[in-house]
A and B are shown apart, each in its own frame.
Chain A
Amino acid sequence: MAIHRRKFLGATAGAVAATMAGCMGNDGENGDGNGDGDGNGDDGGASAEIVGETLTLTTTTSTYDTGLLDEVNAAFEDRYGVAVDAVAQGTGAALETARSGDSDVVMVHARSLEDEFLEEGYGVNRRDLMFNDFVVVGPEDDPAGIDGMESATEAFQTIADTGSTFVSRGDNSGTHTKELAIWEAAGTEPGGNWYREVGAGMGDALNQASESGAYTLSDRGTFISMQDDVNLGIRVQGPIEGGPELLANPYGVIAVNPAVHSNANYDLAMSYIGFLTSPEGQEIIENYTVDDKQLFFPEALSEDPNFQQYVPEGWSSDGGE
């Protein structure tokens, strides 16, 4: 966890000193000095009005557990002087928290759930942010014999047919949503003693699968960041390594609609989305590696933008679906 020190402008020093004086409330900065963290020659441009403000982000466990979030949030704090309070939940929970107006911006990865969120009017200005992919991981001895299969549905079908233990997130997260979609595409209703819903984050699910010699569906990022600690290997690759498109894992970022929740910190949320989808933010995502492997692939910049990223998929102005 790199410590990024911020460079405060004279105008902000007073505000910071005040917060450092020990007000333990919902305060902003715990600034501890100066010195420009990344030497990009940009001194932050933070104005006295926004320093001390916080932005609440609800996101998925995968962005947090891989360490990507620390990286981008530190850069955002450097630039805007605004601290990001990141609450890592599953995609479903993250959207639910935003629905009740308890967060300002969401970073999630389940398009069907995101679309509901947009259609209900809770979110505005969705942007494609980045993608990685899902992989089917399992024990070294591969009891179901799915190693190297080209098709996720075939692999799932085989796991079900052989009754090999499968750990499901079971937490209404993006990964869980994807897993259910694969079962549906495979035409199999998972159930029985071999299918275990653990109701936990990706890291927990990988640990449990490792302990009990089970298969599970994981996002590649979290798996790579944990692979030294678990006795699991990738059995079916995702599209990044030439696997099926079904295993693609796109992430979106959405601002909470300020017309629905007047307390939503909309301008900061848009600054955050703007930063993440800017060349600078996208470069940070591109350059983030664990064990020399790139975990996330930026997707926001395009000369030919995909208009579907702004609206629920399949939506069109002449009457929808």
Chain B
Amino acid sequence: MIGPALSSQPFVELLSLLSGIISEPLLVEFPFERNYVTSIIRVSLYVSLAAVAASTLFSLPVAMLVGFTDFPGKRVVVAVINTGMGFPSVVVGLVVLFAVSNQGPLGSLELVFTKEAMIMSQFVLATPVITGVSLAAVTSVEEGVQDAAYAMGGTRLDVALVTIKEARYGIVTAVLAGLGRAISEIGSVLIVGGNIVRADGTSITRTLTTAIRVEARQGRYETAFVLGAILVALVLLINGIVLHLGGTGRGR
């Protein structure tokens, strides 16, 4: 599975600070245990980042392959990818639950109600998005640049590299879109993760989205809003970091 724990400690510290700033203007006292909220943030980040990382490693080669080659049935593959972008997360959750449940084909791995099962379902959700958006980015670059690269006597590999370089902004957008899909969904993680928190307030499979649902269910809307604000801040923060790293060079 995905390697060691995400060392999100400084990140979480920063988020605690952030959430303090967020909750200030809302005039709510920070209404829960620090451990509770930081462990929820940690689970959210771990699951979504791991799923998106794995999905990116899988999706980019696929997008390249589909983008650069012609083969029979290519249109079907593209149609499947595009359909997958809008696939309902609840259905993905159900399918993954059946796969990892004790009765399912992966039952012996005992993955039901674990973070790994959540990563699996988010991987399934993020993959079509990352593949589809990367594919669009790659194919939009192709025409002009490829001709130029070939004209200069480039090999296929050179052309591919040039294309990736040109399409990098689109690829970064694809990864962010996949992450947005993963971190903000609730349907599948609720089903396969079970929304578990230990008695000491440590989250095992509770994410920000499922925590918001629990708070809302219990009528604690202020708390739900604070968690929502943290989630939004988190997405903004990650987007900022990724865009910064990915370079903001326009595709063309």
Interface residues in chain A, defined as those with a beta carbon under 8 Å from any beta carbon in chain B: 1, 3-5, 22-26, 30, 56, 61, 65, 69-71, 73-74, 76-77, 83-88, 100-102, 200-201, 203-204, 206-207, 225-226, 229-230, 261, 263
Across-interface contacts of A76 in B (CB, < 8 A): 199
Give the Cβ gap from B202 to chain A, nearest Cβ, in Å: 5
Indicate which residue in A3, A69, A73, A200 contacts B217 across the interface (CB closer than 8 Å).
Answer: A200
Cβ A100 vs Cβ B1 within 8 A: no
Cβ B103 vs Cβ A100 within 8 A: yes
Across-interface contacts of B32 in A (CB, < 8 A): 1
Across-interface contacts of A56 in B (CB, < 8 A): 113
Cβ A3 vs Cβ B102 within 8 A: no
Binds A, one of B127-135, B175-183, B190-198, B226-234: B190-198
- For the complex, give the distance between the alpha carbons of A71 and B198 in Å: 11
Looking at A71, A76, A83, A206, the one whose CB has the most chain B CB atoms below 10 A away is: A83
On whether A83 and B198 interact (CB within 8 A), knowing A100-B103, A200-B217, A229-B220, the answer reads: yes
Give the Cβ gap from A122 to chain B, nearest Cβ, in Å: 12
Cβ A65 vs Cβ B201 within 8 A: no
On whether A25 and B1 interact (CB within 8 A), knowing A1-B36, A203-B217, A207-B219, the answer reads: yes
B110 within 8 A of A: yes
On whether A24 and B102 interact (CB within 8 A), knowing A61-B217, A74-B200, A204-B217, the answer reads: no
Give the Cβ gap from B52 to chain A, nearest Cβ, in Å: 16
Cβ A100 vs Cβ B102 within 8 A: yes
B69 within 8 A of A: no
Cβ B218 vs Cβ A226 within 8 A: yes
Across-interface contacts of B107 in A (CB, < 8 A): 101
Across-interface contacts of B218 in A (CB, < 8 A): 65, 203, 225-226, 229
Across-interface contacts of B220 in A (CB, < 8 A): 229
Give the Cβ gap from A210 to chain B, nearest Cβ, in Å: 8
Cβ A1 vs Cβ B33 within 8 A: yes
B114 within 8 A of A: yes
- For the complex, give the distance between the alpha carbons of A1 and B115 in Å: 23
Across-interface contacts of A70 in B (CB, < 8 A): 199
Indicate which residue in A65, A74, A86 contacts B196 across the interface (CB closer than 8 Å).
Answer: A86
Indicate which residue in A30, A86, A88, A102 contacts B200 across the interface (CB closer than 8 Å).
Answer: A30
- For the complex, give the distance between the alpha carbons of A184 and B102 in Å: 36
B112 within 8 A of A: yes
Across-interface contacts of B115 in A (CB, < 8 A): 24-25
A-B residue pairs, 10 tightest by C-beta? A101-B102, A22-B5, A229-B219, A74-B199, A203-B217, A73-B199, A87-B194, A1-B201, A24-B5, A203-B218
Give the Cβ gap from A166 to chain B, nearest Cβ, in Å: 19
- For the complex, give the distance between the alpha carbons of A86 and B196 in Å: 6
Across-interface contacts of B1 in A (CB, < 8 A): 25
Indicate which residue in B6, B103, B217 contacts A65 across the interface (CB closer than 8 Å).
Answer: B217
Across-interface contacts of A86 in B (CB, < 8 A): 196-197
Indicate which residue in B6, B36, B101 contacts A102 across the interface (CB closer than 8 Å).
Answer: B101
Q: Nearest chain-B residue to A264 (Cβ)?
A: B102
Give the Cβ gap from B189 to chain A, nearest Cβ, in Å: 13
